[in-house]
Amino acid sequence: MEKPLLTQIRNELTQHVDQTYKKQSYYFYKEPIKLYGVRSATVKKIAQTSFAQIKSWNKQDNIALCEQLLASGYNEEHAIAFNLLFRFKKKYEPADFETFERWLQKYVSNWSSCDDFCTHALGYFIFTFPELLPHVYAWTKDKNRWMRRASAVALIYSVRKQKVLSQILKTADALLIDQDDMVQKGYGWMLKEASDDFPKEIFDYVMKHKQAMPRTALRYAVEKLPVAMKKEAMKK
């Protein structure tokens, strides 16, 4: 079943290419990226209609389809894969972590794929199986910039459920002086999301580390803080 549906998905993407949008999209990425040039709303519709055809599938068939989509390297196929993966979220088990970790290493090569995967399917997975948090923390030391970004962004789903504050701060410690701006933005974003429910804790953390924390990470981290806190944190 995967191959006919895979062909259908690719045909639909090809039919909806917007060359102007494609040209504009390249400006959002510093790294090389493969694009059809299909608007995200259309990509989501294709994912939705695809799911209607596979919702009775078992987990392994869905994983196989997602891997085929990811292997193409096209950003839109990645988006569809992660959308379908999230729709099957309640079928996954801790043993599937190995597959998801491999996908991060092998297929994720830009911030949009990283964030799409981490804030939805992978984020839900880690929230559901918190015993995997030590494995996620290990990504903070990975040579792959997207693994390091994922170590923070994959916690955002849990952050929004008011969980794992200690893990958030531990992860921020590990990434604090990372020189990669994509990693800085990732852990800054994580801290920003945590500030919704833990403004004092995040403010205190930023004030304690502001001399070492890159300004990029700091700006992201304080974005949602109350005005007075934000102003104080931004002082040099």
The sign of the torsion formed by the CA atoms of 218, 133, 31, 18 equals negative
What per-residue confidence (pLDDT) applies to 130? 95
With 0.85 as the threshold, say if the pTM is over it. Answer: yes
Instruction: Decide if pLDDT at 1 tops 70.
Output: no
* CATH fold match for the domains 1-91 and 96-236: yes
Share of the chain above pLDDT 90, in %: 91
Query: Looking at the domain covering 1-91, what would its CATH class be?
Result: mainly alpha
Domain ranges of the chain: 1-91, 96-236
Q: C-alpha distances in angstroms, 59 versus 54, 62, 74, 138, 151?
A: 10, 5, 23, 27, 25
At the topology level of CATH, where does 96-236 sit? Leucine-rich Repeat Variant (1.25.10)
Q: How far apart are CA 63 and CA 79, in angstroms?
A: 14
User: Which of 26-30, 39-43, 126-130, 171-175 has the weakest average pLDDT?
Assistant: 26-30
Which tens digit of pLDDT belongs to each residue from 178-235? 999 999 999 999 999 999 999 999 999 999 999 999 999 999 999 999 999 999 999 8
